[in-house]
Structure 1
Amino acid sequence: MLNFKNIALRRGARLLFDEASFTIHQGEKVGITGANGAGKSSFFALIRDELHPDAGDFSMPPGLEIAHVAQETPAADCSAIDYVMDGDRELRRLQAELKAAEAAHDGLKQAELHAALDVIGGYEAQARASRLMSGLGFKAAQEQAAVGAFSGGWRMRLNLAQALMCRSDVLLLDEPTNHLDLDAVIWLQDWLCRYPGTLLLISHDRDFLDAIADHVAHIEQGKVNLYTGNYSAFERMRAEKLAQQQAAFQKQQREIAHIQSFINRFKAQATKARQAQSRIKALERMELIAQAHVDSPFHFSFAEPGRMSNPLLTLDAADIGYGDRIVVNKAGLSLSPGDRVGLLGPNGAGKSSLIKVLAGAMAPLAGKRNESMHLKIGYFAQHQLEQLRMEESPLWHFQKLDPQATEKDLRNFLGGFDFQGDKVMEPVRPFSGGEKARLVLALLVYQNPNLLLLDEPTNHLDLEMREALIMALQDYQGALVTVSHDRHLLRSVTDRLLLVADGRVEPFDGDLDDYKNWLGEQKKAEPKESAIEPASGVNRKDQRRLDAERRQRNKPLMDALKKAEQAVEKFHQEQRQLEQQLADPAIYQDADKNRLKDVMARKAQVDKALEDAEALWLEAEEKLAAAQQD
């Protein structure tokens, strides 16, 4: 049991919450919710004894094994599967003691340790680690690859696998779905539902919470309230407190009208019947959902797009891939105003590459991409967060985008994305991932595109911002294509699902429940692989040779990535040095005016070189990630 008695917790001078009293019992699965900055991560730090309460008492039974996901991954030379197995600390301790007993020729101690390993399932540990990695999207051939060979997102998956490998009593997961695709989210959801220990889960994915949580601890206005039931049950109970607010009724009616229009349009069409039934179920819940979010700080919408052609964009027999590697063959797609498309498919099948080609960020290897005369694309992808000018403010970004707009109008617009007061003037660099994502979305909304291309738009966004985005997208009148692991968003804003798999793009006849079943059938149909003895008949020696050849083949990509990282760091350092010189008042009083000109000219050159280096770094990382999927 985890016992919280009159707990107060501060970060600096700021009180996160106080008078928190509740108990989390063994085996319970608790979703931790609240706005960004409410204190969810600090709550985890309290349990891990990294923070101490400012008042009250926290207690738990001694000797509990607590697992959590590391935020940093060393660029280690050990294999990925060894890194995952390190999560079972007792296993590694017993293995180390056994090695020492063997060196000492202590037969009795060896026998004891072999028995202890058998009790904890030590001889099946590698197979268990292999299953965890497979579920999170790794292929068997990647298990022996060095940890340092993986990109940042894949290293986070390794950290998650390492936490799941631990035979823990308490598991703390902070936004575990952020670096996962939909397939891995579905697998993780099933795994956590079977997890026998006590689970505390911070997540902004409502479907994920609904399926797993049996309690919700909600942090708001300096209090922690524990609710019984899943996330939908929590929303119903919270909505009762807010039901009198007129805004709830208005939001509810708009969402109901949108879903009802879909049902009316498609319930008679056989190809849309399943999706219409899914919308009917969503409609039954809508009254409960809307009222629970009436006090959201986010209020924005897409303006009506200007002139639109039909179609807006087409792909004709487009081959999509990198270099000589084609991931999608002869893709054909036509997008018209009002189209609302969700892309499904396994990891590495080409969903993000397809969106890049649609956005014009990547050219097809063959075939044609045809734009209409009036096409105006709004493209959101995670790498765009890094393209923000980190030393500039949100207001600066908008003034750069629209120099004619008044500061008052821009501040009002930014307020809809909860950038209030002095926040609009602060540099972007220290912003959280969620704040940067909100700023990129705000810039996108402001430009009023008629084709939205959204690649995982909800990463880092909290529940309130996700709901606000969903509402805005429901009213959006242009065309929409999205890849998302957030099933609530997919259900709420898409009318058509396309499956990207086996090198093809085809309509998917069914809803997201059918897609989960499809994934299960695909897993069954896959040939069984083993990290110890591959099913193809390749022995261990040959497998090591193949792994070495694969590493050698990927070495140019790894070298290119390392070179790009070094260039980015070099220009970052020089940029900081030049900024320090320009911040010194003496340079403006110096009699030698040429020095100021030289520094400013060099600063402009370095800024441009840094932008180019960052673009090369992102390209190198994407190519390496794609190659690792082979």
Structure 2
Amino acid sequence: MLNFKNVSLRRGPNVLFSQASFTIHQGQKVGLTGANGAGKSSLFALLRGELHTDEGDFSMPPGLEVAHVAQETPAVACSAIDYVIDGDQELRRLQKQLSAAEQTGDGLKLAELHAALDIIGGYTAEARAARLMNGLGFRPDQEQNPVGSFSGGWRMRLNLAQALMCRSDLLLLDEPTNHLDLDAVIWLQDWLCKYPGTLLLISHDRDFLDAIASHIAHIEQQKIELYTGNYSAFEKMRAEKLAQQQSAFEKQQREIAHIQSFVDRFKAKATKAKQAQSRIKSLERMELIAQAHVDSPFNFSFRKPQKMPNPLLKLQEAGIGYGTTIVIDGAELTLAPGDRIGLLGPNGAGKSSLIKVLAGEMQPLAGEILIADALNIGYFAQHQLEQLRIDESPLQHLQRLDKQATEKDLRNYLGGFDFRGDKVLEPVGPFSGGEKARLVLAILVYQNPNLLLLDEPTNHLDLEMRHALSVALQDYEGAMLIVSHDRHLLRSVTDQLLLVADGKVRPFDGDLDDYRSWLTEQTKNEEPPEDVPNQSLSRKDQRKLDAERRQKNKPLLDALKKAELAVENLHREQYELEQQLADPAVYQNQEKERLKQLLARKTRIDKDLEEAEAEWLEAETKLEEAG
């Protein structure tokens, strides 16, 4: 479907990649990875026809409907839902033609256009748009608000909804989770898994990539290599290649030893609590992850805090909100050294407000907050990026913090965050969002806090930096409280989850998979039938019901997993055969018998794959019907 043959692409004098040859087939979901500046966004521009190859040939079928997320949103006066519906351009074309036919009274044309509208689902377009907006966190009462009334982050969500509204053959998504909370990320993940077209996805969220991608296209050292499987499978294959390099192997062993020491410490303290056991399983995979990041440009760690009072901070009967509106009532929270807490909860429930109160940026409306004398807070939030001095360099920012430090020591420190050479002297104004986020984190780490409050710290960070941050946080000895849509980070560095919902803060009894189930139940229960009484179940009874439901659906889940595995294996075999058939040597006279065998296998695999996909669809449909 998308054919690259010896493709080279440059931006100015710089070669982004060269001699790239691979094929992306219809329906495949490809994660595009690589360091910042490697050429991921330029590859998207090539697919959109905005750039052309410098060498080689790129081809795609004519008439393909390509959808992508616009980077700018005009402050237009039209309603949000109309803006989303605009994503279905064929629908808008038919509506214009329908309006013209009505004015001329062309009955035959009107009948033809109404039939065409029915075929493309035009009469359900508004309902489709409303579902997309709801999934991305918009309330029903916001659908008619003008686009210009939304903030920048919410406009980006509207752009995403508009791209999803398009009935596209090819969907290009560049960091779609950057402006989303965890609830919206989970919804988008489920939507993309069911998307029938071809998907190319740039993302630094490894859990998101793992759940969606069937292939990974990785750009490094001016080459693109296509790997079969999700991001974890790619990491394993890349790790095996890198481990063969002696220098990389030595660094890898040091990283593994560091992680293993942390795993051992955690296991020694772990109870049989579900969250703790889940985290141990996650950490046991980190040796493999470390192998795939041996050539990371990032290397930093938190020093041991100078003072560690216990408790560090305490909320008592706190009311949290704005003006006279209380969002969270009666919050009780004590933070002590070693606490590692992840905050969960629906959008608007008050997670960021809670962190702002803890950080001292807001005062509680009721109750009190008790603070230790030696409390030293390291607070990361998106507005912190805006507080950087745009005319000063990274070096100057650190010199403001520590006037006694030598330039050499500060340069070495900044090098751990990949600010090297002249970069440490450049003003931060033109820096990318990722570079600014790294600098804010560098400043935060340098101040040696004993309490970390992190509100979406991974926004704008690439996979390498996210990995370095998770490793540093694992060894951090103070207390931390994190809000993040990056589930891998939450699994790796937290051992306690709190749920902010229904105006309360309470412990969440379960892991992130249970939270996903909780979200699904909340969505189902938002509008209960009027004739069904609202019965309150105890936690014990709810767990019993959940267990019975899982047991009842186990045969369907097993069938679905079996079908998914069969499709994945057949896709892999199909891809390998296609690679062999792409070799010109196989068409030489002396290879006739081998070619015949390959073509016979390809025919059989194609048939088996078609049957396996039908079984997968049937299993998924049965599971959905069973709830």
TM bracket, shorter-chain basis: 0.7 to 0.9
2:142 aligns to what? 142
Instruction: Please state whether the residue corresponding to 1:157 is helix, strand or coil.
Output: helix
Paired with 1:308 and 1:40, the residues of 2 have a C-alpha distance of 44
1:267 aligns to what? 271
Please identify runs of 4+ aligned residues in structure 1 that moved more than 6 A: none
How far off its partner does 1:277 sit?
A: 2.9
2:603 aligns to what? none
List runs of 5+ in structure 1 lacking aligned partners: 530-630
1:191 is the counterpart of 2:191: yes
RMSD: 1.1
Paired with 1:361 and 1:57, the residues of 2 have a C-alpha distance of 55
How far off its partner does 1:230 sit?
A: 0.2
Instruction: Please state whether the residue corresponding to 1:176 is helix, strand or coil.
Output: coil
Paired with 2:524 and 2:110, the residues of 1 have a C-alpha distance of 40
Paired with 2:95 and 2:314, the residues of 1 have a C-alpha distance of 58
Q: Which amino acid aligns with 1:388?
A: L
How far off its partner does 1:247 sit?
A: 1.5
2:379 aligns to what? 379
Instruction: Please state whether the residue corresponding to 2:378 is helix, strand or coil.
Output: strand
The C-alpha deviation readout for 1:260-283, integer Å capped at 9, x for no partner, is 433342233xxx2x1133124324
2:397 aligns to what? 397
Evaluate the alpha carbon distance shift between residue 489 and residue 27 of structure 1 in structure 2; reply closer, same or farther with a 3 A threshold: same
2:223 aligns to what? 223
Instruction: Please state whether the residue corresponding to 1:299 is helix, strand or coil.
Output: coil
Among candidates 254, 261, 276, match of residue 250 of structure 1: 254
How far off its partner does 1:392 sit?
A: 1.1
1:338 aligns to what? 338
Contact residue 263 and residue 279 of structure 1 kept, 8 A:
no
1:456 aligns to what? 456
The C-alpha deviation readout for 1:60-114, integer Å capped at 9, x for no partner, is 0000000000000011111100000000000000011001111111111110000
Q: What are the residue-to-residue correspondences of 1:65-80 with 2, within 5 Å?
A: 65-80=65-80
Q: Which amino acid aligns with 2:271?
A: K
Instruction: Please state whether the residue corresponding to 2:480 is helix, strand or coil.
Output: strand
Q: Which amino acid aligns with 2:57?
A: D
Instruction: Please state whether the residue corresponding to 2:417 is helix, strand or coil.
Output: coil
Contact residue 260 and residue 283 of structure 1 kept, 8 A:
no
Contact residue 484 and residue 490 of structure 1 kept, 8 A:
yes
Paired with 1:316 and 1:410, the residues of 2 have a C-alpha distance of 41
The C-alpha deviation readout for 1:176-207, integer Å capped at 9, x for no partner, is 00000000000000000000000000000000
Q: What are the residue-to-residue correspondences of 1:290-301 with 2, within 5 Å?
A: 290-301=290-301
Contact residue 259 and residue 287 of structure 2 kept, 8 A:
no
How far off its partner does 1:412 sit?
A: 0.4
How far off its partner does 1:253 sit?
A: 2.7
2:6 aligns to what? 6
1:84 is the counterpart of 2:69: no
1:46 aligns to what? 46
Q: Which amino acid aligns with 2:218?
A: H
Q: Which amino acid aligns with 2:445?
A: V
Q: What are the residue-to-residue correspondences of 1:32-181 with 2, within 5 Å?
A: 32-181=32-181
Paired with 1:388 and 1:130, the residues of 2 have a C-alpha distance of 38
Q: Which amino acid aligns with 2:338?
A: G
2:288 aligns to what? 288
Q: What are the residue-to-residue correspondences of 1:435-584 with 2, within 5 Å?
A: 435-527=435-527
Identity of aligned residues (%): 75
How far off its partner does 1:284 sit?
A: 4.0
Paired with 1:206 and 1:115, the residues of 2 have a C-alpha distance of 44
2:427 aligns to what? 427
Paired with 1:338 and 1:410, the residues of 2 have a C-alpha distance of 28
The C-alpha deviation readout for 1:149-199, integer Å capped at 9, x for no partner, is 111110000000000000000000000000000000000000000000000
When normalised by structure 1's length, the TM-score is 0.82
The C-alpha deviation readout for 1:306-329, integer Å capped at 9, x for no partner, is 011100001111111111111110
Contact residue 349 and residue 501 of structure 1 kept, 8 A:
yes
Instruction: Please state whether the residue corresponding to 1:409 is helix, strand or coil.
Output: helix
Q: Which amino acid aligns with 1:385?
A: L
How far off its partner does 1:333 sit?
A: 0.4
Q: Which amino acid aligns with 2:128?
A: R
Q: What are the residue-to-residue correspondences of 1:397-416 with 2, within 5 Å?
A: 397-416=397-416
Paired with 1:200 and 1:368, the residues of 2 have a C-alpha distance of 49
Paired with 1:284 and 1:420, the residues of 2 have a C-alpha distance of 33
How far off its partner does 1:473 sit?
A: 0.4
Q: Which amino acid aligns with 2:461?
A: L
2:591 aligns to what? none
Evaluate the alpha carbon distance shift between residue 506 and residue 58 of structure 1 in structure 2; reply closer, same or farther with a 3 A threshold: same
How far off its partner does 1:488 sit?
A: 0.4
How far off its partner does 1:400 sit?
A: 1.3
Contact residue 130 and residue 143 of structure 1 kept, 8 A:
yes
Contact residue 340 and residue 481 of structure 2 kept, 8 A:
yes
The C-alpha deviation readout for 1:6-65, integer Å capped at 9, x for no partner, is 111111111111011100000000000001111110010010011111111110000000
Q: Which amino acid aligns with 2:158?
A: L
Instruction: Please state whether the residue corresponding to 2:429 is helix, strand or coil.
Output: coil
Instruction: Please state whether the residue corresponding to 1:225 is helix, strand or coil.
Output: strand
Paired with 2:33 and 2:522, the residues of 1 have a C-alpha distance of 34
Contact residue 259 and residue 279 of structure 1 kept, 8 A:
no
When normalised by structure 2's length, the TM-score is 0.83
Instruction: Please state whether the residue corresponding to 2:285 is helix, strand or coil.
Output: helix
Q: Which amino acid aligns with 1:360?
A: G
Paired with 2:236 and 2:291, the residues of 1 have a C-alpha distance of 8
Evaluate the alpha carbon distance shift between residue 275 and residue 455 of structure 1 in structure 2; reply closer, same or farther with a 3 A threshold: same
Contact residue 343 and residue 498 of structure 2 kept, 8 A:
yes
**What is the number of equivalent residue pairs in this alignment?**
525
Paired with 2:52 and 2:243, the residues of 1 have a C-alpha distance of 37
Paired with 1:279 and 1:331, the residues of 2 have a C-alpha distance of 26
Paired with 2:338 and 2:271, the residues of 1 have a C-alpha distance of 18
Instruction: Please state whether the residue corresponding to 1:422 is helix, strand or coil.
Output: helix
Paired with 1:285 and 1:382, the residues of 2 have a C-alpha distance of 30
List runs of 5+ in structure 2 lacking aligned partners: 530-627
Contact residue 31 and residue 209 of structure 1 kept, 8 A:
yes
Instruction: Please state whether the residue corresponding to 1:218 is helix, strand or coil.
Output: strand
How far off its partner does 1:403 sit?
A: 1.3
Instruction: Please state whether the residue corresponding to 1:52 is helix, strand or coil.
Output: coil
How far off its partner does 1:286 sit?
A: 2.1
Instruction: Please state whether the residue corresponding to 1:458 is helix, strand or coil.
Output: coil
Contact residue 283 and residue 492 of structure 2 kept, 8 A:
no
Paired with 2:267 and 2:27, the residues of 1 have a C-alpha distance of 40
Paired with 2:218 and 2:192, the residues of 1 have a C-alpha distance of 20
Q: Which amino acid aligns with 1:243?
A: A
Instruction: Please state whether the residue corresponding to 1:510 is helix, strand or coil.
Output: coil
2:610 aligns to what? none
Paired with 2:461 and 2:340, the residues of 1 have a C-alpha distance of 21
Contact residue 7 and residue 18 of structure 1 kept, 8 A:
yes
Contact residue 276 and residue 495 of structure 2 kept, 8 A:
no
Paired with 1:259 and 1:485, the residues of 2 have a C-alpha distance of 24
The C-alpha deviation readout for 1:572-611, integer Å capped at 9, x for no partner, is xxxxxxxxxxxxxxxxxxxxxxxxxxxxxxxxxxxxxxxx
Paired with 1:263 and 1:159, the residues of 2 have a C-alpha distance of 45
The C-alpha deviation readout for 1:504-534, integer Å capped at 9, x for no partner, is 00000110000000001100100179xxxxx
Q: Which moved more, 1:191-200 or 1:11-20?
A: 11-20
